[in-house]
Amino acid sequence: MTSQPEHSHRTGRGLDVLALAALILIACSLRPAASSLGPVLSEVQGAFALAEWQTGLLTALPGLIFAICGFIAVPVLKKVGLFGSLVMTCVLITVGVGARALVDGWLSFAGLTVVALAGMSIGNVILPVYVKTRFPDRTNLGATAFTVSLGLGAMFPAFLTAPITGHFDNWRVGLGIWALVPACALVTWIILRAARSVPSLDRPGGDAPEAAPPRRHIFTSSKARYMAMFFGLQSVNAYVQFGWLPQIYRDAGLDPVLAGLMLTVVTLGGIPGGFLAPQIIMRSILPRFFLVSFALSAVCGYLGLLLIPTTMPILWAILLGYGGFAFPAALALITGRTHDVAITARTSAFVQSSGYVLAAIGPLAVGGLLGLSAGWTVPLWFMVGVSTLMGITGFLAASPGTVDDELVPTGTHGVTTDPRGGMPRRK
């Protein structure tokens, strides 16, 4: 066991394993509230006698809440600290997911869904800060664990909620069981705190606050803006595929079961993507080339759906799945293109909140284009354009340099802050 006072937390092999377990469990908690609803949406709709607009609102809530609540994550982090903010994340998700499976009213169900999504949105922003502070010398490991766990947290509820519902003949069990994941995350997080292994973001007492140079607003960083656009455009791809891809295949003449399987193929890409994309970004393995390749793959997938959708349907799904590697790459950029912990937090909030605005708008735009054009030609060309822009912004976001460099005002002579302890240092 070693002590590192500059981090304000204890480290060691056992504690590092526990810290990684906490990261994995919290990250796995950030998707089930959204991904578990789709498989039992018809049962929920029937139980509450929902109108079409109410069902549509439920499916649109993740993007909307992620966009809105992501902006409050940094103020929450400053107010209650890293430990308190992630406790809040786990508690909100546990209460929201667990209690919504028990209520009898539509408004209560929707309100508790918002509670869970609010916790998820805060965790989305703050976990990259935890990766930066708790694994300062192994951010590659932390970023990979984060992105892979996000994929697992989306995949398993999508696969297992319907079978669990069928086994118990009760959709409430199928939804409510996923409250166990954030509950376990909360217990692990509290144990880590009791072992004094949760980082403190406070500056060491000997540091004068004015030692660090003032920072410009995050929007003034062109890199942060490109990262936000890249994140948003890849989110449009993901949410359009989740919402519309099976219908595109079905309208082309594919069997409904096979059409659903194509979406499964796409979502499975999140697992290898979660492993590989952070390596590309954190180790600087031709990052711009790979980010452009993700976009090009998505373009080819959409063109295949446009021109010959039923000739090689699985090929188009595989291409779109590889294009989905852009999501873990976008998350890895947040930690890979920032140094200072405060900048990581601000960048994470800005990139994700701005990006999820596009994520909420994208599926609505595709639905509107579908209604206006009465076919998939115009919407698919729209998605070709979205993917092309994703490649351009990804190329720019992955360029050398950091957000920190662009936020230091002229005349500070390159002073920045050490990401591991808040100590000022020279570049």
Q: What is the pLDDT of residues 366-400, one digit of tens each?
A: 878 888 888 899 999 999 999 999 999 999 999 98
Return the pLDDT at 37.
82
Examine the fold and report which residue of 172, 200, 228 is the final residue of a domain before the chain moves on.
Answer: 200
Mean of the pLDDT values across residues 23-43? 87
Is residue 230 included in any domain, yes or no?
yes
Return the pLDDT at 64.
82
Q: What is the pTM of this model?
A: 0.78
Return the pLDDT at 416.
44
Mean of the pLDDT values across residues 82-87? 94
Is residue 256 domain-shared with residue 402, that is, in the same domain? yes
Return the pLDDT at 162.
82
Is residue 195 domain-shared with residue 286, that is, in the same domain? no
Return the pLDDT at 6.
44
Share of the chain above pLDDT 90, in %: 38
Number of structural domains found in the chain: 2
Mean of the pLDDT values across residues 294-317? 94
Is residue 224 domain-shared with residue 196, that is, in the same domain? no
Is residue 265 domain-shared with residue 407, that is, in the same domain? yes
Q: What is the CATH number of the domain that holds 136?
A: 1.20.1250.20
Return the pLDDT at 250.
82
Mean of the pLDDT values across residues 273-296? 91
Is residue 4 included in any domain, yes or no?
no
Residue 3 — very low, low, confident or very high, per pLDDT cuts 50/70/90?
very low
How do 415-417 and 2-4 pair as beta strands? unpaired
Q: What is the average pLDDT value for the chain, to the nearest integer?
A: 84
Is residue 425 domain-shared with residue 294, that is, in the same domain? yes
Is residue 416 domain-shared with residue 282, that is, in the same domain? yes
Return the pLDDT at 345.
83
Instruction: Name the residue range of residue 30's domain.
Output: 9-200
207 pLDDT more than 90: no
Is residue 145 domain-shared with residue 242, that is, in the same domain? no
424 pLDDT more than 50: no
What is the C-alpha to C-alpha distance for residues 185 and 193, in angstroms, rounded to an integer?
12
Residue 8 — very low, low, confident or very high, per pLDDT cuts 50/70/90?
low
Share of the chain above pLDDT 70, in %: 89
Examine the fold and report which residue of 200, 235, 250 is the final residue of a domain before the chain moves on.
Answer: 200
Is residue 173 domain-shared with residue 222, that is, in the same domain? no
Is residue 208 included in any domain, yes or no?
no
208 pLDDT more than 50: no
Place of tokens 């079409």: 52
Q: Are the C-beta atoms of residues 333 and 227 closer than 8 Å to each other?
A: yes
Is residue 1 included in any domain, yes or no?
no
Summarised one tens digit per residue, pLDDT across range 85-129 is: 999 999 999 999 999 999 999 999 999 999 999 999 999 889 988
Mean of the pLDDT values across residues 307-312? 90
Give the closest residue to 263 by CA, choosing from 38, 94, 55: 38
Residue 288 — very low, low, confident or very high, per pLDDT cuts 50/70/90?
very high
Is residue 181 domain-shared with residue 236, that is, in the same domain? no
Return the pLDDT at 409.
63
Is residue 207 included in any domain, yes or no?
no
Residue 316 — very low, low, confident or very high, per pLDDT cuts 50/70/90?
very high
Is residue 412 included in any domain, yes or no?
yes
Top-confidence residue, 300 or 332: 300
Return the pLDDT at 172.
94
Examine the fold and report which residue of 165, 200, 235 is the final residue of a domain before the chain moves on.
Answer: 200
Give the range among 9-18, 199-208, 356-365, 410-419 with minimum mean pLDDT.
Answer: 410-419
Residue 205 — very low, low, confident or very high, per pLDDT cuts 50/70/90?
very low
Return the pLDDT at 410.
54
Is residue 209 included in any domain, yes or no?
no
Return the pLDDT at 318.
94
Give the range among 87-96, 114-123, 178-187, 343-352 with minimum mean pLDDT.
Answer: 343-352
Is residue 119 domain-shared with residue 196, that is, in the same domain? yes
Tell me the chain's radius of gyration from C-alpha atoms: 21
Convert the chain into a string of H (helix), E (strand) and C (coil).
Answer: CEEEHHHCEEECHHHHHHHHHHHHHHHHCCCHHHHCCHHHHHHHHHHHCCCHHHHHHHHHHHHHHHHHHHHHHHHHHHHHHHHHHHHHHHHHHHHHHHHHCCCCCHHHHHHHHHHHHHHHHHHHHHHHHHHHHHCCCCHHHHHHHHHHHHHHHHHHHHHHHHHHHHHHCCHHHHHHHHHHHHHHHHHHHHHHHHCCCCCCCCCCCCCCHHHCCCCCCHHHCHHHHHHHHHHHHHHHHHHHHHHHHHHHHHHCCCCHHHHHHHHHHHHHCHHHHHHHHHHHHHCCCCHHHHHHHHHHHHHHHHHHHHHCCCCCHHHHHHHHHHHCCHHHHHHHHHHHCCCCHHHHHHHHHHHHHHHHHHHHHHHHHHHHHHHHHCCCHHHHHHHHHHHHHHHHHHHHHCCCCCHHHHHCCCCCCCEEECCCCCCEEEC
Is residue 397 domain-shared with residue 285, that is, in the same domain? yes
Residue 209 — very low, low, confident or very high, per pLDDT cuts 50/70/90?
very low
Is residue 149 domain-shared with residue 243, that is, in the same domain? no
Is residue 206 included in any domain, yes or no?
no
Residue 344 — very low, low, confident or very high, per pLDDT cuts 50/70/90?
confident
181 pLDDT more than 80: yes
